[in-house]
Amino acid sequence: MVVRVGTLDDPSVYKPKIAIFTVDKQALHHIADDFQAFVRRSE
């Protein structure tokens, strides 16, 4: 994956849809119920 400089400057452009590596998630990190969540990378 390549993320170019400035890509995330406008948060309305980037809409996350999945969460990966949730095995390492801290207790304070909230993952929305409508997200697909994977403990590790999906195969």
d(CA 2, CA 32): 25
Reading the block at residue 27, the tokens are 């207790």
pLDDT at 33: 85
Res. 12 pLDDT band, cuts 50 70 90: confident
3-state secondary structure string across the chain: CCCCCCCCCCCCCCCCCEECCHHHCCCCCCCCCCCEECCCCCC
Q: Is the pTM of this model over 0.75?
A: no
Mean pLDDT across the chain: 80
Is residue 24 pLDDT above 70, yes or no?
yes
Our measurement of the distance from residue 6's CA atom to the centroid of its chain's CA atoms, rounded to an integer in Å, reads: 18
Segment 28-35 mean pLDDT: 85
